[in-house]
Structure 1
C-alpha cells in the first residue's frame, strides 16, 4: 500500500518592510557672531580749536586712508587693529572731516569749535619728500631764538594756553611720492601782553631728492571772515650742485598782526 505523508506546515510568507527614506543631513557649523565692518568716525573738541579724530575700520587693518578737511588732504594708515587717531588744528569754526578708504569717502562728521576765533592759523600741504617747511618768527624773534617756531622747535598747544606763543603741528604718514603731508601753524589772536607781528615764510631745502626738479604744494590761511584762502605753489628747484641750500618764500603767507591788550 502506498504511504501517505502528512502535509508539511509552511510558515506564512513575511512581507518585507522597507525603512522610510531619510534625507542626508547637512553639517551645520556655528559661524559665531557677525563681524561689524562699518567704519566709525568720531570728532571731539579739544583746547586750542583742535578736532580730535578717532576712526575705526576693523576689517581693514593696516590700510591707507586720507583725511580731508577744508581742502587739506593728509595721508594716514590704520593700525593692525584697524584704528587711527590724530589731533587736527581746525581751519574752520565748524570743522568738517571726511575719511577716504580704498578710493571712497566712507565717513564724514562735523564739529563746532567754540574757541576757533582765538587763533590765527596757516597750513602748508605737499606730497612726498618735498623739503617744504613753515617758519614763524614770533614778535621780534630771529632764527634760532625762542619764538622761532618750525618743525624742529614746534612748541605745543599747552604753551599757547599759558603764554603768548604759537605751535606747529605736523601731520601725515608714509614716505612714498604720493603720500600727502601737512604742517599747521597756530597763534593766539586775542590781545597780547606784547603787541607785534608774527613773520611767516615757507622754506624749501635743496636735497638729493628735490634738486633739479619741480616741487609743488598748497598753502591755506584763514581770511578772518570764516573762510580759507588757498594758494598753489610750484618751485623749480636748483641743480644738484646746490644741495644744502634753502629757498625762502616770504610772500606766500601773510604775516599775523597782534594787537596789545
Structure 2
C-alpha cells in the first residue's frame, strides 16, 4: 500500500487575510494551501525553479474544496498536504486545514497537470519528477466534483487582468478566479453566508491584460454558479454551496 509523503506548516492568521466578518478569505485560503504544496516541492528538490529549468510548469485543472468551518483571524492552523497519486497525465494532491485542537476545518482535493512552458500545452507526467513524493501511480483517471451550468445570469462584473494577478507561469493565478467569482455576489449576501463546498474547474488560461467577465446565478437553495469568461471563451466554472451564518 502506497503512503505518500506528507508535509505540514503552521500558520497564524492575521486580520488582513480575513474579510469584514473576520473569516479567512476564500482566495487566501487557496493561496495558503497551494503555498504548502510548493514548500513540500522545494524541500524535496522539485521546486518551481527546477521544473522551469526543464521547460515545464505545474498547472491546476480543478479544486474540490470541502469546508466544515472557515478559520478566523488570530487562529493558529496547521496546513498539511500530500501528492496522493498520479497517472500519465494527471496528479492528485490532498490538502487539510486543522485547528489548534486538531479538528479538521477544510479538505481540498486538487488535480494538477504539467504544462510545456514554450508550447503552453499539457504534457505527460514524468515518473522521475513524482518519485520524491512517493505517490502511488495509478492507471485510472479520477473525475472531480461537477460544476453546475448557468441557466439564468443574475448579474455580472467586468475586470482587467492586472500585473499582480499573474504568477510565474505568466498566467492568472488560480486563486484570482475565486476572487472574481465571489466578488460578483452582493456584499450583503457574503456577510451573512459562509461556503460549505467549492468546485472550481479551469478550462483555459487567462493572460495579463485580458478582459474578464464574471457571471453568476444564485439559486434559492444557496448555491451560486459562476462563469469566468475571457475572449468569449469560458475560462473557468465555479460552483459554491453556501450556508447562512444565522
TM-score, reference length from structure 1: 0.27
- Structure index of larger Rg: 1
Q: Which has the higher helix share?
A: 2
